[in-house]
Amino acid sequence: MSRKRPEPVQVVKQRRDAAMQTLAQAVPYIRYLGVQFERRGNELTAVLPYREDLIGNPMLPALHGGATGAFLEITGHMQVMWAQVWPLMEGGGAAAEAIDAGQFPPWPKVIDITVDYLRTGLPRDAYARARIVRQGRRYASVQVSAWQDEIDRPFAAATAHFLMRQ
């Protein structure tokens, strides 16, 4: 028995990146804030490129707590969605074809989010990663951490709960 030959690396990358981009770009508010996603395998890092209109305190200056909170929420939301999409996309068959055609499962709903503002958000790019602490059939619990210069010095962190819709 011979194993199926793996797909060429470019095909794999393109399929995964396309799914990630389609998901993020379909949401107007993610586009508005300018949040982008970078991917290594199934690991996602969200990037919030700095813009002057993200400032909440012009005297310091510091990022707006609302913009920071929204960035963390988007990161957590995307992580839960991505965790649903990944096995479908990689599993082949009709489910994978649907993903390729841009048909995704419905976005989970945000139930609640608690944001800790740990440091002043500086006027520069911010990064965030989310970790699914528990994924159940109906609920998911997610932790998000955001940093700017040093990953071990987060400027904001959040815990969020999501309602799965499948």
Partner 1 sequence: MVARLRELQALRVFVDVHVSLSLCLTKVSSDVEGPKVNSTSDTHRHEIARKFTAVIPHSLALGMSIEDLGDGEAVMKIPYDERFIGDPETGVLHGGVITALLDSCCGTAVISHPATKGPTATLDLRIDYMRAARPGEAVLAFAQCYRQTRSVAFVRAVAYETDRDDPIATATGAFTVAPASEPKS
**Binding residues with partner 1: total (CB under 8 A):** 40
What is the sign, positive or negative, of the torsion defined by CA atoms of 68, 69, 72, 73?
negative
Task: Decide: is 152 part of the binding site for partner 1 (CB under 8 A).
Answer: no
Site for partner 1 in 14-53 (CB under 8 A): 26-33, 52-53
In the complex with partner 1, the residue whose CB is nearer, 42 or 118, is 118
Instruction: Please pick, from the candidates 15, 18, 50, 56, the single residue that binds partner 1 as defined by CB under 8 A.
Output: 56
Task: Tell whether omega for the bond before 106 is within 30 degrees of 0, i.e. cis.
Answer: no
Instruction: Please pick, from the candidates 41, 58, 93, 136, the single residue that binds partner 1 as defined by CB under 8 A.
Output: 58
In the complex with partner 1, the residue whose CB is nearer, 27 or 90, is 27
Residue in the block written with tokens 């700017």: 148
d(CA 104, CA 57): 38
Q: Tell me the DSSP string of 11-50.
A: HHHHHHHHHHHHHHHT-HHHHHHT-EEEEETTEEEEEE--
Contact, 142 vs 115, CB < 8 A?
A: no
Instruction: Please pick, from the candidates 24, 48, 70, 140, the single residue that binds partner 1 as defined by CB under 8 A.
Output: 70
By the criterion CB under 8 A, which residues form the site for partner 1?
A: 26-33, 52-60, 62-67, 69-71, 73-74, 77, 107, 109-117, 120
